[in-house]
Structure 1
């Protein structure tokens, strides 16, 4: 929009009585946030996002999910439990799907692939970590509710894969790279084949442990972990001794 200046030399008009400015109409829509070059709304500048509020919201979400289930959980309930305003919650997570997936995904951030000097020891350690995480009641309740809802919602299922499943494949990549650096495994033939093998290894480990803990309800003992690792490394006899 162009702004034009008042023409010079206009005749001087008679003094006018002062005009009282009209009160703003608060019923009007609030001004919209500025848009970026791609048409998306940009976040207005303000106070930095609070990590403490994020943690409180994610904790409250998992607690509510375990207590109320997917159907009973609402954004309002989470905001109340976390002691934050609804506006704070919606600024961070616009939808229930995004909120619950991120709340569950944050549980897996504690998993790390150690470097214990052998592939066998590394696998046993990460399997034990994963089993301990799955054994916690809040993890079981959250995962079972999320996976059950994911069977009915394709978009949710895709977000589960992108936010929870795929990021954990880093553990396989890290363990594989460490074993290759130690000379236990041969270098990757090519990137595509390596990616497929990483997917298979991850599915084998995660699927087996999840089924045993969440479906069969059986414990993951040290003896079970050793036998499972031996089966996994069966094609590599030199690695079985660890």
Structure 2
């Protein structure tokens, strides 16, 4: 008797793969944190010129391929390692716009005073002068993320009645960009270029100057 070959099963009768199957390996937040911490430690110990991705991988206890999948090169890795430090900046309500500004300026100066920040920031800024993608990464990872502090501070000052509500949103956004540039530029120049301390007296005088300009801009 000739044996019959069973007909192929219909698509509906075939077992379906589970819907929660992931393609690729999920990214580990713990590995990212270990890599960024190892990068900052290597910067302090070795400096920019001697830091290698291989050394960072060894310090972090991860395979080199794990690191290379996340960061294409040393510059990008260092930018992200430093961006985490700037993400520590906060703007708690200290009761007045002047006190809020003084508080965040002191925080910013303290971050810039860390050895790993000094080494990394000066190095990546120098590299970015001939690397447009790196400039974009610095802008998106550090600058744009911290401009939120200016917007938060202005909104709080408006609620307190210290500043009038912005009549023109576009002009207010442009003013916020200018305030950030002035504040960040002054603190970076003071601490990293002039190598002078951003002490309490300097912060107080700078805040008074900044608020005087802000009041003039608000009255325009």
For this structure pair, what is the TM-score category when the shorter chain's length is used for normalisation?
0.7 to 0.9
Contact 1:213 1:220 in 2 (8 A): yes
Which structure 1 segments of 5+ residues have no match? 1-7, 11-42, 238-242
Q: Distance in 2 between matches of 1:72 and 1:104?
A: 17
Identify which range, 114-123 or 58-67, moves more after superposition: 58-67
Q: Which residue pairs with 1:231 in the alignment?
A: 209
Which structure 2 segments of 5+ residues have no match? 6-21
Q: Distance in 2 between matches of 1:158 and 1:69?
A: 23
Where 2:87 maps in the other structure, the secondary structure is: helix
Q: Which residue pairs with 1:93 in the alignment?
A: 71
Q: Does 1:44 align with 2:55?
A: no
Q: Does 1:175 align with 2:153?
A: yes
TM-score (norm 1): 0.75
Deviation at 1:173, TM superposition (A): 0.6
Q: Distance in 1 between matches of 2:71 and 2:34?
A: 13
Deviation at 1:62, TM superposition (A): 1.9
Contact 2:35 2:60 in 1 (8 A): yes
Q: Does 1:134 align with 2:100?
A: no
Computing the radius of gyration from Cα coordinates, the structure with the larger value is: 1
Where 1:72 maps in the other structure, the secondary structure is: coil
CA deviation string 1:47-94 (max 9, x = no partner): x53332211100111222344444433221211111111122123223
Q: Which residue pairs with 1:123 in the alignment?
A: 101
Alignment of 1:146-225 (within 5 A): 146-225=124-203
Distance 1:229 1:111, change over 3 A: same
Q: Which residue pairs with 2:41 in the alignment?
A: 63
TM-score (norm 2): 0.82
Where 2:147 maps in the other structure, the secondary structure is: helix
Q: Distance in 1 between matches of 2:87 and 2:194?
A: 25
Where 1:189 maps in the other structure, the secondary structure is: coil
Deviation at 1:189, TM superposition (A): 1.9
Q: Distance in 2 between matches of 1:218 and 1:96?
A: 29
Q: Which residue pairs with 1:37 in the alignment?
A: none
Where 2:162 maps in the other structure, the secondary structure is: coil
